[in-house]
Amino acid sequence: MRTLQERLKLAMAGPPKVTQAALARACGIRAPSVNDWISGKTKTIEGQNLLIAADYLKVMPMWLATGKGPMRKGSDGGAQPASKESNVVPIESRRKSQDSSFITIPQLDVAGSMGPGRVPPDHIEVIRDITVHLDWLKTQGLSYSKLENLAIIDGDGDSMEGTFRNGDALLVDRGITEIRTDAIYVFTLEGELFIKRLQRLTGGSLRMISDNPVYPAIMIEGDMLAKVHIQARVLLVWNARKL
């Protein structure tokens, strides 16, 4: 029976071929953590990381975890061609609402910095859910990629004060992984996770804007542009105001 390292290498070989960096971004962890999986330093893949990695690699979670069962759904254990690689990471543990007119949106155990930046955690774990009526989503005039790409994360810091505050719950679309319009995004830059307004400039440069005027805008240009990885777009803020 193949080891975890051998199974990972086989799955990552594709098609399509998946790099360590791509798998790390999909799981929301640092590249060295994926390297630990492949090198054998880490013997198992835990919790949500296993589900997300298996989904991204288009293999069965049981096969990835233990080597038992088929490698891919509907296969006899041999490698099967994978579908086109996707930037979207579904969360399979989403609870289904008994009423089809409601959707349960998972809240992720990850906070994006609205200040100087914070290092992304080594895991993403659903810790609680928010259930909303589909008609309510429509009344908000929200545009999103797919319902299953919606998630809740917490903001951290005060640099977006005026738009939302430290600790506010933010509805994000994880299906948006590129800058198509000026908006507020969740993104990594040199290994740190941010929630900021990004504005495209002529020539391809970006302006990273804090809505709190105390913080000056930061220009992202040249080689730094390749280090910006969009994780999601912020669509809406849920907050509580003291009355």
Q: What is the pLDDT of residue 147?
A: 85
Distance, in Å, from the CA atom of 77 to the CA atom of 70, rounded to the nearest integer, reads 4
Q: What is the pLDDT of residues 165-200, one digit of tens each?
A: 887 888 999 899 999 899 999 988 877 888 899 999
Distance, in Å, from the CA atom of 219 to the CA atom of 150, rounded to the nearest integer, reads 29
Distance, in Å, from the CA atom of 195 to the CA atom of 185, rounded to the nearest integer, reads 6
Distance, in Å, from the CA atom of 64 to the CA atom of 7, rounded to the nearest integer, reads 6
Q: Is the pLDDT of residue 121 over 80?
A: no
Amino acid, single-letter form, for residue 210: S
Q: Is the pLDDT of residue 93 over 50?
A: no
Q: What is the pLDDT of residue 123?
A: 36
Q: What is the pLDDT of residues 39-91, one digit of tens each?
A: 888 878 876 677 788 888 888 878 888 888 788 765 444 444 444 444 444 44
Residue ranges and CATH numbers for the domains of the chain are: 4-66 (1.10.260.40), 102-238 (2.10.109.10)
Distance, in Å, from the CA atom of 154 to the CA atom of 17, rounded to the nearest integer, reads 33
pTM of model > 0.85: no
Report, as an integer, the average pLDDT of 24-34: 83
- Give the model's confidence band at 207: pLDDT under 50 very low, under 70 low, under 90 confident, else very high: very high
User: Does 108 or 161 have the greater pLDDT score?
Assistant: 161
Mean pLDDT score of the chain: 77
Distance linking the first and last C-alpha atoms of the chain: 62
